[in-house]
A and B are shown apart, each in its own frame.
Chain A
Amino acid sequence: MSGSQTAEAVDLAEEEQLDNSRAPRMDQSQAVAEDFQSVAQEEYETHGTVTAEDPVMTVRDCNVFYGDAQALFDVNLDIGRNQVVALIGPSGCGKSTFIRCLNRMNDTIDTAVVTGDIRLYGEDINSKSTDVVLLRARVGMVFQKPNPFPKSIFENVAYGPRLHGLASNRAELDEIVETSLRRAGLWEEAKDRLDQPGTGLSGGQQQRLCIARTIAVNPEVILMDEPCSALDPIATARIEDLIDELSENYAIAIVTHSMQQAARVSQRTAYFHLGKLIEVDETNRIFTNPGHKLTEDYVTGRFG
């Protein structure tokens, strides 16, 4: 009898402690909820600077609807030359939807409707006259899960150049493949097994193969949708180094769930929340001195 009484007493004490620890958290989440409400209002002005000095792509008032549900609300953002823009935010906030607007991959979803003004070097990419094939050759994409074609490593890289007729003969094609693999840091590992299936590579190698495949068509912008989420830390580090090198030549937009990654690879960071672009600024400012409460809560790990 006495044993169980003591146990009950301990239980009670623990519960009390829990209550105590819960109280501030409650306050916090209430605060977050208030911030949410301020965001949920119709008009929302993005904090920070949406424009870039030398923009390759400009997005103005971009709205995306999936059927009746609106996924993006009036997003304005520039992607500058030789610059990495990191898109961060909790799951379902519209980061992926946003970068899929940039090469019109949302076209493949029947119910998706994209409005707004998205320009690549001043050219409206949503206009009727825009050729999607050409657009996607100029705005390449690397996906979350490595998705090499079930073909040889060579064929994987050569597919894009062949598709667009970039090589006039076999020697040129060989050269494109080698250069692309070199720039993706895969040449040393792959040069002796070019005829073997790309699917036989490790996850990190596959993702670098996908990057090689993307840069083989010489795009102007590279979009990356959580390219490291399926990779281990070593493979991730290699990809991040690679992104750094690639930013010398390309404009890059990268979606990531890792704030450390965003801090490491990007010059600018955009924080999305519930389909709205809350804040965009230079990366170190976002992480050290964010302008919006939600951004601060997210980057300090209070939610997300």
Chain B
Amino acid sequence: MTADEKRAQEETLRRVRASLARRYRSERRFRLFGLSSALLGLAFVAFLFVTIIGNGYTAFWQTQFKLDIYFDPAVIDPDGQADPQQLASANYRALIRDALQSELPDVSGRREMRELNRLISAGAEFDLRDEVVANVALIGSTRELWITADDEVDMLVKGHVERDEQGGARRLSDSQLRWIDALAADGRVEQRFNVNFFTRGDSRDPEQAGIAGAAKGSLFALLVTLVIAFPLGIAAAVYLEEFAPRNRWIDLVEVNINNLAAVPSIVFGLLGLSVFLNFFGLPRSAPLVGGLVLSLMTLPTIIIASRAAIKSVPPSVREAALGLGASQVQTVLHHVVPLAMPGMLTGAIIGMARALGESAPLLMIGMVAFIVEVPQSITDPATALPVQVFLWADSPERAFVERTSAATMVLLAFLLAMNAVAIWLRNKFERRW
């Protein structure tokens, strides 16, 4: 080895050494950057969950009064016939008022009576009615029942409204406050599990409003979406990947599918409005139409994910099947689609999750209406979970604040459940090759 070569080698070594420290520094910096990005994202998610759960968990409890209700035959069944018609239209509010008054004998005068009345939810009398209609034997007896309190009372008991705040957020009078305290001292005020929230549709009264209508609306719409978009998406993807001839028309179709995935969702709402409602005359506000619109929106996502999944199936599997004498359809159905299934399912679930959280297209087809009834079929008018969140967030009553958060929690739970099913299905179908 010559001296020159030796010098050159030493020089190389020196330069590499000099750059090493810098290289390691930049690698450390890069790792740190990645880690902090991940932590930042995690922090935001944690913040979101803490806020929503912190705001919303109280909505799962509802203040109720324990009252001894006397089902006075003179009030609800003066004829003694137990005629359902009669029972349905009787004055149950009077029963509650009487029960309250017997607890608070010092209340007098029309104004005070009216104030006392306002402690009780406007819907409480209908709960009583339903109980009596279901069980006429109640007439004439006295029962200790939990009667739903008004949302203002609820907010006060939960501490969302300050007691000493005058003329501001507190909308209860001093005497109402006094009566509540008296009932509480008697052990007659309690926060109990809010069944209404999970069994009812929307209401103007926060204490009567429930998420069931929206949840069922979302469920129906998603079922329609799944039934339509999943098979169509997979069929389209399989055709485009395995059977379509390579020509300009197919290229055009592909470009359009990719573009459709990027179209703003409200545009799909407009499409649904003009096609499904105006042209086909399908019912307004129905989960059927909502599901159709959402499947239009989800289709491109499913097609693109499914095509990627099909592409990733090794060609050797296709060759093996074809070489054994399987037809092209058999090759696809026996080997390609099963192997691509995990990827297709992932794509479908991503699409469905997006559809679940989508509200804009549903606004256009009327799923934003105020609907009290819980839908029983896909053609009944309904709303959807994200739309319900939006509606409640828009309502002025203080009690809707916690319900908005609670509805968001239900939406997230829905999403988590869907993802859990997706992961389970994926693991079930996952195969090595």
Which A residues contact B (CB, under 8 angstroms)? 3-4, 7, 103, 105, 108, 110, 132-137, 140-141, 143, 145, 147-150, 159-160, 163-164, 197, 199, 210, 213-214, 217
Contact = CB atoms under 8 A, between A and B. Distances in A.
B431 A150 contact: yes
8 contacts: A3-B2, A105-B322, A110-B246, A133-B325, A150-B433, A160-B325, A163-B325, A213-B324
B415 to A, nearest CB: 31
Contacts of B319: 105, 108, 141, 143, 147
A210 B432 contact: no
A140 B323 contact: yes
Interface string B299-329: 0000000000000001011111111111100
Contact of B316 (A147, A163, A197): A147
Given A110-B246, A150-B431, A103 B320 contact: no
A275 B318 CA distance: 26
A145 B316 contact: yes
Nearest to A219: B325
Given A145-B316, A150-B339, A133 B327 contact: yes
A3 B4 CA distance: 11
A197 to B, nearest CB: 7
Contacts of A135: 325
Contact of B320 (A4, A108, A134, A143): A143
Contacts of B433: 150, 199
A7 B321 CA distance: 63
Interface of B is mostly: helix
Interface of A is mostly: helix
A93 B123 CA distance: 87
A150 B325 contact: no
Given A7-B2, A150-B317, A143 B339 contact: no
Interface in B330-355: 330, 334-335, 339
A199 B2 contact: no
B324 A214 contact: yes
Contacts of A108: 318-319, 322
Contacts of A136: 322-325
A134 B325 contact: yes
Interface string B168-192: 0000000000000000000000000
Given A135-B325, A147-B317, 15 more contacts: A108-B318, A108-B319, A134-B325, A141-B319, A141-B323, A143-B320, A147-B314, A147-B316, A147-B320, A149-B317, A150-B432, A159-B326, A164-B325, A210-B320, A214-B323
B10 to A, nearest CB: 17
Given A133-B326, A143-B316, A199-B432, A149 B321 contact: yes
A149 B245 CA distance: 27
Contacts of A199: 432-433
A57 B141 CA distance: 98
Contacts of A105: 319, 322-323
Given A3-B2, A199-B432, A140 B322 contact: no
Interface in B245-272: 245-246
B335 A103 contact: no
Interface residues of B, number: 25
Nearest to B318: A108
B431 A163 contact: no
Interface in B1-36: 2-4
Contacts of B325: 133-137, 160, 163-164, 217
A197 B323 contact: no
A217 B320 contact: no
A5 to B, nearest CB: 11
Contacts of B432: 150, 197, 199
A150 B322 CA distance: 15
Nearest to A160: B324
Which among A103, A148, A150 has the greatest number of chain B C-beta atoms within 10 A? A150
Nearest to A213: B324
Nearest to B320: A147
Closest 8 CB pairs of A and B: A147-B316, A136-B325, A137-B325, A141-B323, A150-B433, A160-B324, A147-B320, A150-B431
B241 to A, nearest CB: 13
B336 to A, nearest CB: 11
Contacts of A147: 314, 316-317, 319-320
A148 B321 CA distance: 10
Contact of A103 (B245, B318, B323, B326): B323
Contacts of A133: 325-327
Contacts of B314: 147
Contacts of A143: 316, 319-320, 323
Contacts of A4: 2, 4
Contacts of A140: 323-324
Contacts of A150: 317, 339, 431-433
A132 B323 CA distance: 10
A163 B2 contact: no
A129 to B, nearest CB: 16
Which among B3, B246, B323, B431 has the greatest number of chain A C-beta atoms within 10 A? B323
A26 to B, nearest CB: 32
Interface in B273-319: 314, 316-319
A42 B322 CA distance: 35
A217 B321 CA distance: 12
A108 B321 CA distance: 12
A217 B322 CA distance: 13
A246 to B, nearest CB: 16
Interface string B110-127: 000000000000000000
A132 B326 CA distance: 9
Contacts of A110: 245-246
Contact of A163 (B317, B318, B326): B326
Interface in B362-402: none
Contacts of A197: 431-432
A217 B316 contact: no
